[in-house]
A and B are shown apart, each in its own frame.
Chain A
């Protein structure tokens, strides 16, 4: 009797406490550091994206094909996602392209995904008589890329009771389109471990 009454009392108090504590807590929204170290979960996150983009860019800028100062023209192809996580690899290649472009040492040709928009715009200018004929973009003037960037991202996930370990490997390659030679390649590895408790 005594035990069960005490038990109910303990239960009631703990439930009440949870309610009171929970009820009073207010959600706050604050701006954070977009480039801060993010370790909310061990899924692919913003820090990983930034680290990969930065490492790849800097490595590529140091490659002979770029340091030779001939402003190579590059197109970005698909980075294959071989993990089972939803990683938007286009977000990674977009970041790499933006950083490379800012360095002023690489130029980019329109990629396959952007080609239909490009074609449409040229057609539109060509077909519309409201445009100045002299300045209209002509067909057959686009410059093809000399090099293409492609890559893949893989992961190995290991999970035990209280630990989850994820290893990511991002590989990027730059191929010479004309002769099919591999001009540059680099890898970035990331390991993340979550432990409970």
Chain B
């Protein structure tokens, strides 16, 4: 009876071990390396190759939308992100109405976190609507951008509520089960990567100054200063001591009341780098078995920055220097998110390892007992079971590496007034200045500049939604004319 049950368990563990073996970090590294050289098409092909099934998950749509955005195909990008939004909405409804449904399935507790359906980290959910708004802005749809921004506010509120409840529950659960372990109990975990002053200075892992600043800018452009004020004020609270943010609020009433003098209020959004990767590493965790603490090997995610951070200090606009300020670090947000998620990850790891360790311990003990009783074949079967369990736990035990990787690491802004018409903008990169011609129209204008490595992806307001046809040139080529790389280094 006992033997059969153990064999079954062993089989289950080892079989599902194969199914869950998917290293997200490795998959995405190839995709992003291509994107970093400007080969958006190649990056999309790589992403497609890794997601062949019909039932694509949230993560696929997040990455796909970002890659399409790099190719300046805002419509296709928003199509992908609309699919992503549907999936996040599902989470949102569950979070609002039934929090018990969140935070782990049986499989995650017994086998692996990767069996949890990917729901997206909180900062990704907020960034999703913010980036949809950016796409609308790139296409000049300010009203649609406003809708996406309102969704951002609402989503933040849902997350705040859900998390407050969830963290409370995990703390209670952990205490109930005697799993009073902190980050520092995991031998060798690089605690400082997710627990440092910069990370702890954030209010939480999902509210960002950029989302709120952008809200302020859109509301201001639409003539709604009372909402714009709230946006700028939130941005200042989230990122104190940033003069650029404070200026936006200070001059708000004046700007809204001023008559049209033929110039444009221009916001440059400069995004650099790539969001950090979660990489699975094995650590030992003390688990109580037979009234003794036994060190068991458990995998936990560790953050890894894929590209060296680059923060340009200034932007050249028609030869003039515009100051640039960092307003949000998604890199830091991701670290804070992991810090906040760790108690839950550790609790599941703890329960899982305890289960596996106990099963292994028992199988071995039973085998020894049988052998002592002279039942050689029964003992051998149980030995096999113990080995299977061990192999199973080794293959299943790898941390969840899933995260939206094509997000930028750092978000900076520059803002000022420009006469309408054509202007030349140069952004310094690690490999010298990159120039781009921009056409400014309307009282308010928004220009996105994305830098991956030293490749600049300009997201210009007039960029047409190109249809993707077979044999289409890499997306960065059609704008090669605008992208006249310069040798001078403007930083």
- Residues of A at the B interface (CB closer than 8 Å) are 1, 3-5, 7-8, 10-12, 14-16, 18-19, 21-23, 25, 27, 41, 43, 78-90, 113
The size of the chain B interface, using a CB distance under 8 A, is 42
A127 to B97, CA, bound (A): 55
Neighbouring A residues of B233 by C-beta, 8 Å: 83-84
* B106 in contact with A84 (CB, 8 Å): no
Q: Is the CB of B97 within 8 A of A27?
A: yes
* 15 pairs, A vs B, C-beta closer than 8 Å: A7-B178, A8-B351, A12-B110, A14-B173, A18-B104, A21-B100, A25-B97, A25-B101, A27-B93, A41-B161, A79-B226, A81-B227, A84-B234, A86-B150, A90-B224
With a cutoff of 8 Å between Cβ atoms, the chain B residues found around residue A83 in the complex are 230, 233
Listed in ascending order, the chain B residues whose CB lies under 8 Å from chain A are: 93, 97-98, 100-101, 104-106, 109-110, 150, 153, 157, 161, 173, 176-178, 215, 223-227, 229-231, 233-234, 237, 253, 287-291, 351, 354-355, 357-358, 361
Decide: A3 and B288 in contact? CB cutoff 8 A. Answer: yes
Closest A residue by C-beta to B233:
A84
Whether B98 contacts A11 by the Cβ 8 Å rule is no
| Contact residue among B93, B101, B177, B288 (Cβ-Cβ distance under 8 Å from A11) | B177
B230 touches A84 (CB 8 A): yes
Question: Cβ of A23 and Cβ of B109 under 8 Å apart?
Answer: no
| Chain B residues, CB < 8 A from A5 | 358
Chain A residue nearest to B252 (CB atoms) is: A80
Q: Are A16 and B106 in contact (CB under 8 A)?
A: yes
- Chain B neighbourhood of A41, CB < 8 A: 157, 161
Residue of A nearest to B154 (CB): A86
Query: Shortest Cβ distance from A81 into chain B, in angstroms?
Result: 4
Tell me, rounded to whole Å, the shortest Cβ–Cβ distance linking A136 to chain B.
Answer: 28
- Given that A19-B106, A25-B98 are contacting pairs, would A7 and B230 also be in contact in the complex, using a CB cutoff of 8 Å? no
- Contact (Cβ within 8 A) A15 B157: no
Cross-chain contact A78 with B109 (CB below 8 angstroms)? no
Minimum Cβ distance to chain B for residue A91 (Å): 10
**Min CB distance, B74 to chain A, in Å?**
25
Given A4-B288, A4-B354, 6 new contacts (CB under 8 A): A1-B290, A15-B104, A15-B106, A81-B229, A88-B224, A90-B226
A4 pairs with B358, CB closer than 8 A: yes
Contacting pair B227 A7 (CB below 8 A): no
| Complex CA distance for A4 and B173, rounded to whole angstroms | 15
Residue from B100, B110, B177, B226 in contact with A7 in the complex, judged by beta carbons closer than 8 Å? B177
Instruction: Give the chain B neighbours of A87 by CB distance below 8 A.
Output: 226-227, 230
Complex Cα spacing A194 to B291, Å: 43
A80 to B228, alpha carbons, bound, how many Å? 10
Closest residue of chain B to A84 (Cβ to Cβ) is B233
**In the complex, what residue of chain A is closest to B226 when comparing beta carbons?**
A81
Q: How far is A11 from B173 in the complex, measured between Cα atoms in Å?
A: 9
Which chain A residues lie closer than 8 Å to B106 at the CB level?
12, 15-16, 19
Residue of A nearest to B288 (CB): A4
